[in-house]
Amino acid sequence: MDKGFSRTIILEKQNSQTTVVWNPAKDLAEMSSGQYKTFVCVEPSNVGEYCIKLAPHATHTIAARIYIEK
């Protein structure tokens, strides 16, 4: 629940057991000056005990949908 904006932020994932939330701590080349201060990245993942080990040429696809409900 995002109480500041009275909304619920929902993350739906497929084939992902964990989520990584990060901030670059400085502007990246594609960002405006100071944008990192209000930037957060949310990524579906499979880390730690959920690590996916693939055979050569094998694939694994993960997906995420992030949306807001008022």
pLDDT digits (tens, 9 = 90+) for 11-57: 999 999 999 999 988 888 888 899 888 888 999 999 999 999 999 99
Residue 1 predicted with pLDDT over 80: no
Q: State the greatest distance between any 2 C-alpha atoms of the chain, in Å, as a whole number.
A: 47
- CA–CA separation, 50 vs 16, rounded Å? 8
pLDDT of residue 57: 98
Predicted TM-score (pTM) of this structure: 0.73
Is the Cβ–Cβ distance between 50 and 42 less than 8 Å? no
